[in-house]
């Protein structure tokens, strides 16, 4: 599974505005709902917030992978956001989080959802990749960074 198979060019937000966890999740849910007619903003926001209440999806090194399932989607939908100043996201390493890769899977999905999470975790572990994403000037450049890294695997 490739990351570029999950994320579309218009699903990258290079300048998230929110400064706290809840606001950031709501901002991402609003953006995703505005680009996918099958996603209800309130439902997605609720699912992402409930998932965060179980345990933080911030995996450290400035990365979080908020995720959840919705019955309304027929395939995995993804979004990548960047908070230039970082957000306190209860990360494992106690550091601010800058990169947010949101995954929304169908309720019936298990294997594909877990494979996607594993793939994203593995790619985002690379410090040079994260650095290039943080330095990219715009959404198109961020997409190019993802596609270039994705092609290595």
**Which domains does the chain carry?**
3-150 (3.40.930.10)
Query: Residues 39-97: pLDDT tens digits?
Result: 999 999 999 999 999 999 999 999 999 999 999 999 999 999 999 999 999 999 999 99
Q: What's the rounded mean pLDDT across residues 20-43?
A: 96
DSSP of 58-127, one letter per residue?
EEETTEE--EEEETT-SS-EEEEEEEEEEE----TTS--EEEEEEEEEETT-SHHHHHHHHHHHHHHT-H
- 């230039």: which residue's tokens? 84
Work out the mean pLDDT of the chain and round it to a whole number: 94
Q: Looking at 35, 36, 67, 113, which residue is catalytic?
A: 67
| Residue 67 among the catalytic residues | yes
At residue 153 the predicted structure's pLDDT band, cuts being 50, 70 and 90, is: confident
pTM: 0.95
């Amino acid at each position: 599974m490739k990351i570029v198979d999950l994320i579309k060019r218009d699903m990258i937000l290079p300048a998230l505005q929110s400064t706290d966890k809840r606001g950031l999740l709501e901002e991402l849910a609003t953006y995703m709902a505005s680009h996918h007619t099958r996603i209800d903003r309130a439902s997605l926001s609720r699912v992402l917030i409930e998932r965060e209440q179980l345990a933080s999806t911030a995996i450290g090194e400035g990365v979080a992978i908020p995720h959840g399932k919705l019955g309304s989607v027929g395939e995995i939908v993804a979004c990548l956001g960047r908070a230039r100043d970082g957000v306190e996201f209860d990360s494992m390493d106690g550091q601010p989080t800058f990169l947010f890769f949101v995954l929304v899977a169908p309720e019936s999905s298990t294997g594909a959802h877990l494979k996607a999470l594993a793939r994203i975790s593995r790619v985002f572990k690379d410090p040079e990749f994260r650095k290039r994403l943080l330095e990219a000037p715009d959404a198109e450049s961020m997409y190019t960074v993802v596609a270039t890294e994705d092609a290595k695997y």
